[in-house]
Structure 1
Amino acid sequence: MIETDVIVVGAGPAGSSAAKHAALGGAKVILIDKKSEIGSPKRCAEGVSIEGLERLGIKPNHRWITKKIEGVRIQSPDGTDIWLTEDQVKLPEAGYILERKVFDKYMAMDAARAGAEIRVKTLVTGVEKIKDGYIVETESMGKEETYKCKILIAADGPEGHVARWAGLKPAAKAKEMESGVQYEMCNVEFEKQGVIEFYLGSCAPGGYVWIFPKGEDIANVGLAVLPHKAEKTAIEYLDDFVANSPYLKNAQAVEINVGGDPVGGMTKKLYDDNIMVCGDAAGQVNPLTGGGIISGMTGGMCAGQVAAEAIKEDCSKKFLKQYDTIAHEALDHEIKRYKKVQEYLLTLSDEELDSIAHAFEDETFEKISTTEIVKKLVKISPKALLKLGKFV
């Protein structure tokens, strides 16, 4: 049996963040991932904010940045465009499009440099609660190994097997799990370079279509839908969009990614004796955008820091409640507010979205952020004022 202080399951950004900060705090850490290559396959549109990276103390690196975001385009169902580009407005929430296959490896390397050990192509097959921690069963390359840890951190994505095995409820109910599918494509045409594009309405019921540029003619083209609002599968909606988009008439897919995205908010229970949950497994995702890289890494950082202190003092749920407190302090403001906006948008028809877009055409922005867009929305829409007045 291999004994350690902390085991982190899942070497995505949240898990690597947890492993890094637990190791920096002096804990002996093992980071386990089932994949043979950390970061592959990717399961997101790869956008992050510069401010979010700064909060996490991560310096941008050209090796994992493919494009700097220079603006936003939002298109309503009737084709009305709202352009918000840096030549017109300030972009305080500007960001980057990543190459996740490289970024995730770099984050795992940061954890390793902090002192964590990494086990790739290692599948966790079961966990068992014992008096002073957890037993973790794994299988790797036909070899079974058993680990013992004082603290288990579950960062195994939206499926959340580890938390479920440990008796913690999953983050998202079935109706709050978006179904996402994405192509990485070449031969994509852009009206403006460096602009991330969002297409709203019945083209992606319960979600939206995105085109995120990664190069001169390369982009992530994808969408997410809420299955209970959709009449077709996610891939059917995406193929329809691609077939009808003038910007994609010559585009070719070189990669396809699929996965679930929990947009129901954070799980009610993030911890128990000797265990914490972070990242997508904990619902640490922006419900409006579906983005979870920065918020997941923030949750992972909180979990890692608390784990390092718990190893020195007390690994019971009484002590680990600190994680619940600081994670909610760090993330609630964004997650709860944008959950309300998401719920409001779900009530809008294509015609109402068009009407709002027409009103937005006459609006001017001094700066652009999700909050500023919602403020304008409240200003121009009585229905939004009723639903979101407290947002601002």
Structure 2
Amino acid sequence: MMETDILVIGAGPAGSTAAKHAALAGVSVIVMDKKSEIGAPKRCAEGVSKEGLEKLGIKPSERWIAKEATGVRMVSPNGTAVNLTEDKVKLPEAGYILERKIFDKYMAMDAGRAGAKIMVKTLATGMRREDDQVVVTAESMGQELEIKTKIVIAADGPESRVGRWAGLKTALKPKIMESCAQFEMAGVQMAEPDCIEFHFGSVAPGGYAWIFPKGDDIANVGLGVLTTITDKSAYEHLLEFVENNPATKNAQPVELNIGGDPVGGLLKKKVTDNVLVTGDAAGMVNPLTGGGIISGMMGGRIAAQIAAQAVSDGDYSQKNLKIYEKLCEEELGESFKKYLKAKDYLLSLSDEELDTIAEAFQDSDFETINTAEMVRKLVKISPKALLKLGKLF
């Protein structure tokens, strides 16, 4: 039997960040991942904000940045485009499109350099309590093994199995789990190749479609839908989008990614005795954009700090770990509640209403892009905006 102070299950960005910061705090850490290659397959549009990386203390590297995006292009159902680019407005932040397969490995390497032991192709198969600790059973390279640990940080993705083993309610209702499909494509001809592009309306019921440029004529082209309001699969919607969009109709896919994205906000209960859940497993995904890399890493860092302190205290109880929930709420929860309201508003709009809003925005000169200004403009155009968003910002 192996022993460690903290066991992190899942070596995505959230898990690797948790492992890194726990190791830096001076405790022993193992991080395991079921895949033989960390970061593959990717399940993400690969966008992150510069501001987010800076907040996490991560210096950008050309090894894992495919493209710097200098603006946003929002497209309504009838093709009306609103371009918010650096040459027209002062953007509060610009973003990067990553190579996730490299970025995730880079983050895991950082955890290893900090002192964490990394175990690839290692699948957690069960968990039991033993005295005041936890024993996790796993299969690694075809062999059964057991790892005894004081604290488990579950970073094993949406509807976390590890969280369920610990008695947490990690199962999600279909109305808050978007089904996503994405191609990486070559031969994409974007109208604004330096902008990330969003398409709204019935093209992606319950979500939106995106085109994220990765340099040259390469882009991630995908969408997320709510299966509760469409009879078609996300893949079927994606095929239609690709066929009908001028930028992608002549492009060719070189990779297909399919997965679920939890967009219902933070799980209410994220800790129990000896166990914390973080990242996608804890619902740390922006409900409006579906982005979860930065927020998951923020959560992973908090989880590491609380877990390491609990090891130092010699107290791994739910009561001692509960501060994690409060800190996550302060860091992410309040903003997520606002994004949920904004998402509900967007879902209430018909294609025609979206077109009207886009046409009105197209004629606007924004000095800067901020949520409050956007909402003020929306309230003038759409009575629903006042009803659903007016008191939020």
Q: Mark yes or no: TM-score above 0.5.
A: yes
C-alpha separation in 2, matches of 1:215 and 1:186: 10
Q: CA deviation at 1:362?
A: 2.1
1:269-280 map, 5 Å? 269-280=269-280
Q: For residues 224 and 172 of structure 1, do their structure 2 counterparts lie closer, same or farther at Cα, with a shift above 3 Å needed? A: same
Secondary structure in 2 matching 1:212: strand
**What residue number does 1:332 align with?**
333
**What residue number does 1:45 align with?**
45
1:28-53 Cα distance to aligned partner (Å, 9 max, x none): 00000000000000000000000000
Q: For residues 106 and 175 of structure 1, do their structure 2 counterparts lie closer, same or farther at Cα, with a shift above 3 Å needed? A: same
Any gaps of 5 or more consecutive residues in structure 1? none
Q: CA deviation at 1:91?
A: 1.4
TM-score (norm 1): 0.98
C-alpha separation in 2, matches of 1:48 and 1:379: 31
1:95-147 Cα distance to aligned partner (Å, 9 max, x none): 10000000000111111111110000001111112331211010012101100
**What residue number does 1:318 align with?**
319
1:214-363 map, 5 Å? 214-313=214-313, 314-363=315-364
**What residue number does 1:209 align with?**
209
**What residue number does 2:379 align with?**
378
**What residue number does 1:159 align with?**
159
Any gaps of 5 or more consecutive residues in structure 2? none
Q: Which amino acid aligns with 2:134?
A: Y
C-alpha separation in 2, matches of 1:179 and 1:374: 28
Q: CA deviation at 1:208?
A: 0.4
Secondary structure in 2 matching 1:163: helix
User: Does the aligned pair in 2 maintain the 1:185–1:221 contact within 8 Å?
Assistant: yes
Bigger Cα displacement from structure 2, 169-178 vs 22-31: 169-178
Alignment size in residue pairs: 392
1:155-205 Cα distance to aligned partner (Å, 9 max, x none): 001131110111100163222100000000001101122110000000000
User: Does the aligned pair in 1 maintain the 2:159–2:171 contact within 8 Å?
Assistant: no
User: Does the aligned pair in 2 maintain the 1:171–1:281 contact within 8 Å?
Assistant: no
User: Does the aligned pair in 1 maintain the 2:375–2:390 contact within 8 Å?
Assistant: no
User: Does the aligned pair in 2 maintain the 1:93–1:369 contact within 8 Å?
Assistant: no
User: CA RMSD of the aligned region, Å?
Assistant: 1.2
C-alpha separation in 2, matches of 1:374 and 1:328: 24
Secondary structure in 2 matching 1:354: helix
Bigger Cα displacement from structure 2, 373-382 vs 331-340: 373-382
C-alpha separation in 1, matches of 2:376 and 2:121: 46
Q: For residues 53 and 369 of structure 1, do their structure 2 counterparts lie closer, same or farther at Cα, with a shift above 3 Å needed? A: farther
User: Does the aligned pair in 2 maintain the 1:33–1:123 contact within 8 Å?
Assistant: yes
Secondary structure in 1 matching 2:322: helix
User: Does the aligned pair in 1 maintain the 2:159–2:172 contact within 8 Å?
Assistant: no
C-alpha separation in 1, matches of 2:300 and 2:209: 28
C-alpha separation in 2, matches of 1:193 and 1:209: 16
Secondary structure in 1 matching 2:7: strand
2:29 pairs with 1:32 = no
2:389 pairs with 1:388 = yes
Q: CA deviation at 1:325?
A: 1.1
Q: CA deviation at 1:369?
A: 4.6
Extract structure 1 runs of 4+ deviating beyond 4 A. 369-372
Identity %: 65
1:7-18 map, 5 Å? 7-18=7-18
Secondary structure in 2 matching 1:335: helix
C-alpha separation in 2, matches of 1:217 and 1:368: 28
TM-score (norm 2): 0.98
Q: Which amino acid aligns with 1:198?
A: F
C-alpha separation in 2, matches of 1:272 and 1:156: 16
C-alpha separation in 1, matches of 2:88 and 2:19: 41
